[in-house]
Structure 1
Amino acid sequence: MVFMFTYHAAVSQHSTTKPTYVTLSGGHVAFGTGVAGGFGVGLEVSRNIIDKPSPFVAQLLVGGELFFESGVSAPVTQNPPLNGFFFKSFDHHNHALLWLKAAYYPFQQKIVRGLHLQIGPTLGYKQRTTEREAYLVSLGGGEFQRRSVLRYDNGAYAGYRISVGYELPVATKCTAGVRADFSNNTRGDINTLLGVKFGYRLN
C-alpha cells in the first residue's frame, strides 16, 4: 500500500509538471519597405499550459520575449553619384520591445512537430532618425559633399507581431530552428525578420 501511494504521487507530480523554455533568437530585420536593413536579437521565456496533447493541439505556450532591433541606411556623403543623391537617404532605426505571446504547436508527428505559429501584442520604444532634406556643398577642386538636415521620431508604441517557425531537437533539452516575423505598430512601422533560434527546456 505504501508502494502504491508513493508511485501514485510520483506519477501525479510528473503529469502536472509543464515544461518551461528559454529561447535565444537573432536575424536580419527589414524596416518598412526594406529601405533600411539591420539585425534583431531576442530572449524569450515561455511555458506550456496544456496538461495533455490533443488532436491539432500538441503544445500551447504562453510567455514573453524581449526584442531589440537596429538598422541603418546611409548614403554616400563624399562625391555622391547623382542617382544615389536623389534616390537614397539617411534612415536609422532603434527599437526595444516586449512581445507578450502565445505559441501554437498543432502537430504531434515527429517530422512536423516543431512547426508553430506565434502571435500577440507588443509594447515598445523606438528611436528613428531620417533625412528631412539634403544638399550638395562644393569643396573646390571638383569635390562635393552631401550635407543633411535630420528629423527625429522618438516615442513609445503598441502593436502586434506574428511569427511562423520550425524547430528540431539537436540535443537533450535543446532545439534549433528558424523563424519569419511580421510586425506592425501605432507609429506606422511595418517590419519583417528572418532569423534563427536556439531553445533550452528548463524542466
Structure 2
Amino acid sequence: EAAAVVTNENKWNRNGFGGDGAIRTGKYNKEETETVKRAVENYCAVKQISVARLCSECDHKAELKGAWMEIAKELPHRSVQSVYRHGLRQLHPFKRGTWSDEEVEILITSVTQYGKKWASIQTKLNRSADSCRDKFREIDDSYIRGRWKENETEQLKRLIREHLRTDPLADIKELGKMVESQHIKIPWSTISKRMGKRSRLSCFKKWQKMTGLFSASD
C-alpha cells in the first residue's frame, strides 16, 4: 500500500510532531499562552535571533522555514497554524485599530501587484495577515455590506447548523452556548464562501450579534 503524501499544507494543520489526533481548538488559556511565549523565546535564543525578527520574517526567509513547526512541539494538542497565529498575535507589534485612507490605498495596490498573499502584504502595512485579509474583503466590491436580509440570515443559520450537525431547527442562541462551552471552531472562511456574497468578517459579526457570544474564528 502506498504511503500517504504529507504536504506542507497538511503539516500546517497538524501538530509540531506531524500528528493530527485530538487537536484542540478555541481560545487559548493563560498557561498555553505562556507556553507559546516561552517556546518562541527559547527558539530565538538557540537561533540567536530576536523575537521581532522571527515574527516579521518567518513567512519569507528561507532560514526561518519550519520555525513554527518546531515551536509548536511545545503544544502537541494544538495545530502548527494555531500556534503560529496565536504567537504572532501575542508577540508581533502589529498595528491595530482604524485603517487610514493611505493604508487602504497601500492594501489595494499590494493586492493588485502581488495577489492575495496576506503573509507578504502584512509586512508592508505592519498589520496582521488576518487583518489585511478582512479589511480587503470589507472594501471588495464583490461582497455585500450593510444590513443583512432575512433570507441571508436564514442561510447563515442553516450553514452553521449543517457544520455543527445539529437539528435544522436548533435555536441559534443555544448553539452559541454550545460552541462557547465546548470551544468549537467554526470555519468562517468556508461559511463565507458558501454564503457567496458575505465576507468572513461579516459572517462572524452576524454570528456574534445573533448569539451575543464570542467564538473562535479560523
Both proteins in one fold, TM over 0.5 = no
> What TM-score, normalized by structure 2, do the two folds share?
0.17
Q: Which has the larger radius of gyration?
A: 1
Greater helix share, 1 or 2?
2
